[in-house]
Structure 1
Amino acid sequence: MTAADRALDMRGITKTFPGVRALSDVDFSVRFGTVHAIVGENGAGKSTLMKILSGSYAPTSGTIHVGGREVHMRRPADAQALGIRMVHQELNLVPDLTVAENVYLGRMPGRWTFLRRGEMIARAGAVLDELGAGIDPRERLGNLSISQQQIVEIAKAYAAEPRIIVLDEPTSSLSEHETAALFRILRRMRDGGIAIVYISHRLKEVLQIADEVTVLRDGSRIETRPVAGITAAEMIRLMVGRDVGNVFPKTATRIGASVLRVEGLGDGVRFGDVSFDVRAGEILGLTGLVGAGRTEVARAIFGLGRIATGAIHVNGARVTIRSPADAVRAGIAYVPEDRKGDGIVPAMSVRENISLPVLRRISRLGRISRSGDRALAARYVERLGISPPDGERRVSLLSGGNQQKTVIAKWLAARPSVLILDEPTRGVDVGAKAEIHHIIGELVAEGMAVVMISSELPEVLGVCDRVVVMRDGLASEPIDRPHLTEERVMELATGEEAA
Structure 2
Amino acid sequence: MSSDETSNRGRQETGGVFSSVDNVMTQISRSVEAARHSIASIKGCTRQYPGVLALDNATFEVAAGEVRALLGKNGAGKSTLIRLLTGAEVPDTGSVTVDGEELRYSGSNRAQDAFDKGVRVVYQELSLVPGMSLAENLFLGRWPRKGGVIQYANMEAEASEAMGRLGLDRPPNSLVASLSPAERQLLEIARVLLGKPKLVILDEPTSSLAAAEAEKVMAAVKRIASDGIAVIYVSHRMNEIRQIAHSATIMRDGRIIETVDVKGADTREIVRLMLGSEASQTAALENRSQGQTVLEVKDLALSPKLASISFSLKAGEVLGIAGLLGSGRTELLQAIMGVQMQDHGNVLVDGVSVAPGHYKKMISRGFGYTPESRKEEGIVPLLGVDENTLSTDFSGVSRNGILSSRLIAEATRKVIERLHIKTARTDTPIGTLSGGNQQKVVIGRWVYANSRVLLLDEPTRGVDVEAKAQIYTIIRQLAAEGRSIIFVSSEIEELPLVCDRVLVLRDGTLQEEFKSPNIDQDALMAACIAGH
1 CA distance for matches of 2:119 and 2:150? 26
Conserved? CA contact 1:14–1:59, under 8 Å: yes
The verdict on how the C-alpha distance between 1:237 and 1:357 changes in structure 2, with shifts beyond 3 A counting, is: farther
1 CA distance for matches of 2:45 and 2:434? 24
The verdict on how the C-alpha distance between 1:275 and 1:231 changes in structure 2, with shifts beyond 3 A counting, is: closer
Give the equivalent residue in structure 2 for 1:217: 252
CA shift digits 1:338-365 (9 cap, x unpaired): 4542235568999997776578779985
User: 1:228 offset after TM fit, Å?
Assistant: 3.5
Conserved? CA contact 1:6–1:68, under 8 Å: yes
CA shift digits 1:127-173 (9 cap, x unpaired): 22221234443321123233322221111112332110111222222
Conserved? CA contact 2:71–2:251, under 8 Å: yes
The verdict on how the C-alpha distance between 1:189 and 1:442 changes in structure 2, with shifts beyond 3 A counting, is: farther
Give the equivalent residue in structure 2 for 1:137: 172
Richer in helix (by share):
2
SS in 2 for 1:7: strand
Conserved? CA contact 1:359–1:368, under 8 Å: no
Give the equivalent residue in structure 2 for 1:118: 153
Are positions 1:12 and 2:53 aligned together? Answer: no
- What amino acid maps onto 2:88 in structure 1? S
- What amino acid maps onto 1:336 in structure 2? P
- What amino acid maps onto 2:252 in structure 1? R
Give the equivalent residue in structure 2 for 1:49: 81
2 CA distance for matches of 1:141 and 1:191? 27
SS in 1 for 2:159: helix
Give the equivalent residue in structure 1 for 2:208: 173
1 CA distance for matches of 2:268 and 2:281? 9
Give the equivalent residue in structure 1 for 2:279: 244
Report % sequence identity. 33
Give the equivalent residue in structure 2 for 1:367: 408
- What amino acid maps onto 2:231 in structure 1? I
1:187 pairs with one of 219, 222, 243: 222
SS in 2 for 1:242: helix
2 CA distance for matches of 1:237 and 1:321? 41
1 CA distance for matches of 2:351 and 2:143? 59
1 CA distance for matches of 2:339 and 2:255? 44
SS in 2 for 1:95: coil
Give the equivalent residue in structure 1 for 2:100: 68
User: 1:239 offset after TM fit, Å?
Assistant: 2.9
Structure 2, unpaired ranges of 5+: 1-31, 399-403, 423-428, 496-500, 514-532
User: 1:300 offset after TM fit, Å?
Assistant: 7.2
- What amino acid maps onto 1:151 in structure 2? L
2 CA distance for matches of 1:41 and 1:337? 18
2 CA distance for matches of 1:118 and 1:37? 38
Are positions 1:25 and 2:57 aligned together? Answer: yes
The verdict on how the C-alpha distance between 1:376 and 1:284 changes in structure 2, with shifts beyond 3 A counting, is: closer
SS in 1 for 2:277: coil
The verdict on how the C-alpha distance between 1:44 and 1:321 changes in structure 2, with shifts beyond 3 A counting, is: closer
**1:406-417 aligned within 5 A:** 411=446, 414-417=449-452
User: 1:89 offset after TM fit, Å?
Assistant: 1.2
Give the equivalent residue in structure 1 for 2:70: 38
Count of equivalent residues: 447
Conserved? CA contact 2:118–2:198, under 8 Å: yes
SS in 1 for 2:54: strand
CA shift digits 1:47-84 (9 cap, x unpaired): 22222221222222222221223332532222211111
Are positions 1:99 and 2:134 aligned together? Answer: yes
Conserved? CA contact 1:304–1:324, under 8 Å: yes
Give the equivalent residue in structure 1 for 2:182: 147
User: 1:182 offset after TM fit, Å?
Assistant: 1.4
Conserved? CA contact 1:216–1:239, under 8 Å: yes
User: 1:97 offset after TM fit, Å?
Assistant: 0.7
Conserved? CA contact 1:201–1:427, under 8 Å: no
2:235 pairs with one of 200, 214, 223: 200
Conserved? CA contact 1:8–1:67, under 8 Å: yes
2 CA distance for matches of 1:199 and 1:12? 21
Conserved? CA contact 1:259–1:449, under 8 Å: no
User: 1:29 offset after TM fit, Å?
Assistant: 0.5
CA shift digits 1:254-287 (9 cap, x unpaired): 7955646899999xxx9xxx99995647979999
1 CA distance for matches of 2:438 and 2:267? 25
SS in 2 for 1:29: strand
The verdict on how the C-alpha distance between 1:8 and 1:275 changes in structure 2, with shifts beyond 3 A counting, is: closer
Conserved? CA contact 2:504–2:512, under 8 Å: yes
Conserved? CA contact 2:322–2:504, under 8 Å: no
Conserved? CA contact 2:71–2:250, under 8 Å: yes
Conserved? CA contact 1:284–1:466, under 8 Å: no
User: 1:232 offset after TM fit, Å?
Assistant: 3.2
2 CA distance for matches of 1:179 and 1:245? 33
Conserved? CA contact 1:321–1:327, under 8 Å: no
2 CA distance for matches of 1:19 and 1:422? 26
The verdict on how the C-alpha distance between 1:358 and 1:99 changes in structure 2, with shifts beyond 3 A counting, is: same
**Farther off after superposition, 139-148 or 252-261:** 252-261
User: 1:183 offset after TM fit, Å?
Assistant: 1.2
- What amino acid maps onto 1:373 in structure 2? V
What's the C-alpha RMSD, in Å, of the aligned pairs?
5.6
**Farther off after superposition, 17-26 or 141-150:** 17-26
Conserved? CA contact 2:207–2:327, under 8 Å: no
User: 1:444 offset after TM fit, Å?
Assistant: 9.5
- What amino acid maps onto 1:366 in structure 2? L
SS in 2 for 1:149: helix
Are positions 1:90 and 2:125 aligned together? Answer: yes
2 CA distance for matches of 1:347 and 1:235? 44
2 CA distance for matches of 1:235 and 1:480? 20
User: 1:88 offset after TM fit, Å?
Assistant: 0.9
Give the equivalent residue in structure 2 for 1:377: 419
**Farther off after superposition, 330-339 or 99-108:** 330-339
Which structure: larger Rg? 2
Structure 1, unpaired ranges of 5+: 382-391, 471-477, 482-499
When the two structures are superposed, what TM-score results if normalisation uses the length of structure 1?
A: 0.67
Conserved? CA contact 1:24–1:220, under 8 Å: yes
The verdict on how the C-alpha distance between 1:87 and 1:108 changes in structure 2, with shifts beyond 3 A counting, is: same
Conserved? CA contact 1:13–1:62, under 8 Å: yes
The verdict on how the C-alpha distance between 1:441 and 1:132 changes in structure 2, with shifts beyond 3 A counting, is: farther
